[in-house]
Amino acid sequence: MSTAVSPESSPTMQGKPLSIAVYPGTFDPITNGHVDIIKRALSLFDKVIIVIAVNALKTPLFTIEERIDMINQCFTSNDRVEVDTTAGLLVDYATSKNACAIVRGLRAVSDFDYEFQLALMNRKLQRRVETVFLMTGFRWIYISSSIIKDAARHGGDVSGVVPAHVKTALQTKFN
Ligand code: COA
């Protein structure tokens, strides 16, 4: 069980503890599928912290600063959304923020095995943080950041699957 990080004092709203969720990912880049999950998570939790975490198997195209900026631009006037990064264990990060849940989006059945493993491992590491799965919106089931990058790299039009500023950032990267 993780004990390394001590939680911040619990934030409250009108004297009531806030329900906080973390939504982790590489976000290289953020897509409309991610945005859909975040918006829906906001109907379940008082605050959602989008946390750019490290997936050791990936070498991101965008820097951390670029990814933070692209995410921030999606939620400019929403003070219930925060963007942060962690280089450590996700459950330690969640505990340090007093989060009660980790939100994950499930796409096709193919996601299930990996997500199940991840959730069980996170639960073994820290029982107090639950994993909450949201079904990815139908329109986003077959997209991923990699597929979108690949399309953009070859000059494909990625309108509709990423926010407009992300499309521009992709075009700039590949020009
Ligand atoms: N709509 C569209 N696409 C989506 C999506 C959605 N709702 N949700 C996820 N995707 C895509 C992502 O863009 C990503 O695409 P890519 O593989 O082409 O980059 C793919 O689905 C996989 O997403 P995800 O499973 O969230 O992987 P990730 O690399 O973004 O995030 C971490 C994995 C960072 C959360 C995980 O490695 C982690 O927790 N790291 C921290 C270290 C740690 O605690 N490790 C122990 C875990 S037990």
Number of domains within the chain: 1
107 is catalytic: yes
CATH number of the domain that residue 139 is part of: 3.40.50.620
DSSP state of 3: -
> Is residue 124 in some structural domain?
yes
Give the model's pLDDT for residue 77: 87
> What would the pLDDT profile of 118-174 be if each residue is shown by its tens digit?
999 999 999 999 999 999 888 998 899 999 999 999 999 999 999 999 999 999 999
DSSP state of 155: T
> Is residue 82 in some structural domain?
yes
DSSP state of 81: E
Q: What is the largest CA-CA distance in the chain?
A: 53
Nearest CA to ligand 1 atom 43: 89
Region 85-106 average pLDDT: 97
> What would the pLDDT profile of 46-73 be if each residue is shown by its tens digit?
999 999 999 999 999 999 999 999 999 9
> What would the pLDDT profile of 16-33 be if each residue is shown by its tens digit?
778 999 999 999 999 999
> Is residue 175 in some structural domain?
no
Q: Is residue 5 over pLDDT 90? A: no
> Is residue 156 in some structural domain?
yes
Q: In terms of DSSP H, where are the helices of 42-129?
A: 64-74, 90-96, 112-125
> Is residue 169 in some structural domain?
no
Nearest CA to ligand 1 atom 4: 144
34 is catalytic: yes
Region 24-43 average pLDDT: 97
